């Protein structure tokens, strides 16, 4: 069954904040809009009264579209120079008649993240933070937000992918045979982790507590910031980004459909089309039900 995050007879209000609109984020956002549109029926009915839930989407990123983004992100030539959040909102938000609020800024402070979740006036709110970033410094901030007292209830879905193996200072033509083998099989793996807390009680640890190296990473910096030396960024494979986005979308779709979280984390490999889900343990399900009966 998983963890039932909402059982009220009144329609829930999904407050969804997406941090990051690159390779993972652009594919995730596009599918999210399509998923919501299917629940709302015919195009345009999102504004009618025949809807299964309320929702609000914030798309957050200060990146602008560059020519290099056209390979594995959902942008085209006309988008170059435009904020990614604006390009995606205009293309997919308008196509699926989904109202979206775009926020063209990097989130580098706890207060900025809190402002995106000003939801205390909504009694039926299900706050969802979707981390689609490629740096651990932002994940550290999201972990701090998750464990803060600002929100008693929060779902935090994080998607991460492995970069393609590269050697600083070398082109692919200069790789040794051993390096070529490593590079050929790299860049296909990733993981999705769902963190969840209810009434201040953490039931599913977020990604920073599942993979401790994320919180221990002292070299990572926020987007747009410099640590004095250039950070070497590995390229990503489009197939891996799409796989990560699809799994995250499936988790969101289950929230829309049944209001449940069934999976804590998924490790996957896009090359072999394999995914290894870790389901919510039965012991946690039982403890969770007992907890709900006491509040």
Per-residue pLDDT, 76:
74
Render pLDDT for 172-218 as a digit per residue (tens, 0 to 9): 777 788 877 877 787 899 999 999 999 999 999 999 999 999 999 99
Nearest to 26 by CA among 119, 142, 135, 134: 134
- Report angle CA 203, 136, 57 to the nearest 5 degrees: 65
**286, containing H or E segment:** helix 282-292
Q: Which residue has the higher pLDDT, 238 or 145?
A: 145
Give the chain's radius of gyration (CA, Å).
19
More confident residue, 53 or 129: 129
CA distance 80 to 69: 9
H/E element, 158: strand 154-161
Check residue 252 and give its pLDDT.
97
Q: What pLDDT is attached to residue 237?
A: 84
Please count the other Cβ atoms lying within 10 Å of the Cβ belonging to residue 259.
18
- pLDDT at residue 235 is higher than 90: no
- Cβ atoms of 264 and 9 closer than 8 Å: no
CA distance 65 to 68: 8
Nearest-angstrom CA–CA distance, 215 and 275:
25
pLDDT at site 155: 98
Helix, strand or coil, per DSSP, at residue 135: coil
3-state secondary structure (DSSP) of residue 130: strand
pLDDT in tens, 121-175: 778 999 999 999 989 999 999 999 999 999 999 999 999 998 776 778 788 777 7
pLDDT at 226: 53
Please tell me the predicted confidence (pLDDT) of residue 225. 63
The predicted model gives 270-295 an average pLDDT of: 95
How many C-alpha atoms does 266 have within 13 Å on its Cβ side?
24
Q: Give the domains, in start order, of the chain with CATH numbers.
A: 3-292 (3.40.50.720)
pLDDT at 231 over 70: no
Looking at residue 232, what is its pLDDT?
52
Can you tell me the mean pLDDT for 247-270? Answer: 96
pLDDT at 47 over 50: no
Q: What is the mean pLDDT of residues 40-67?
A: 75
Secondary structure in 3-state letters for 76-95: CHHHCCCEHHHHHHHHHHHH
pLDDT band at 242 (very low <50, low <70, confident <90, very high): very high
For residues 233 and 77, which has the higher predicted lDDT (pLDDT)?
77
Rounded Cα–Cα distance for residues 9 and 6 (Å): 9
Mean pLDDT of the chain: 88
d(CA 52, CA 32): 15
- Reading the block at residue 61, the tokens are 């990123």
Supply the DSSP symbol for 120.
T
Q: Any idea how long the chain is?
A: 295
Quote the pLDDT of residue 228. Answer: 44
Tokens representing residue 130 in the block: 């979707």
Instruction: Tell me the pTM.
Output: 0.91
Contact 202, 194 (CB under 8 A): no
Higher local confidence (pLDDT), 40 or 107: 107
């Amino acid at each position: 069954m998983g963890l039932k995050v909402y059982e009220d007879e009144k329609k829930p209000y999904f407050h969804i904040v997406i941090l990051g609109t690159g390779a993972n984020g652009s594919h995730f956002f596009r599918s999210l809009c399509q998923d919501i549109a299917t629940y709302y029926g015919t195009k345009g009915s999102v504004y009618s009264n025949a809807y299964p839930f309320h929702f609000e989407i914030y798309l957050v990123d200060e990146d602008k579209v560059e020519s290099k983004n056209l390979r594995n992100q959902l942008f085209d030539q006309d988008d170059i120079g435009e904020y990614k959040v604006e390009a995606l909102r205009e293309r997919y938000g308008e196509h699926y008649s989904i109202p979206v609020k775009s926020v063209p800024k990097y989130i580098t402070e706890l207060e900025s993240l809190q402002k995106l979740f000003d939801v205390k006036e909504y009694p039926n709110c299900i706050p969802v933070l979707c981390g689609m970033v490629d740096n651990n410094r932002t994940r550290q901030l999201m972990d701090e937000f998750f464990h803060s007292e600002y929100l008693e209830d929060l779902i935090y879905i994080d998607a991460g992918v492995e970069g393609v193996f590269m050697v600083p200072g070398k082109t692919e033509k200069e790789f040794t045979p051993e390096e070529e083998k490593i590079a050929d099989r790299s860049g296909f793996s990733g993981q999705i982790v769902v963190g969840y807390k209810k009434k201040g009680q953490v039931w599913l640890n977020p990604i920073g507590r599942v993979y401790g190296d994320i919180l221990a990473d002292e070299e990572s910096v926020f987007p747009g910031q410099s640590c004095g030396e250039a950070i070497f960024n590995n390229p990503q494979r489009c197939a891996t980004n799409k796989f990560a986005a699809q799994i995250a979308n499936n988790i969101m779709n289950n929230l829309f459909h049944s209001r449940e979280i069934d999976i804590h984390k998924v490790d996957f490999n896009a090359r072999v089309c394999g995914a290894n889900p870790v389901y919510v343990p039965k012991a946690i399900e039982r403890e969770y039900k007992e907890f709900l009966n006491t509040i």
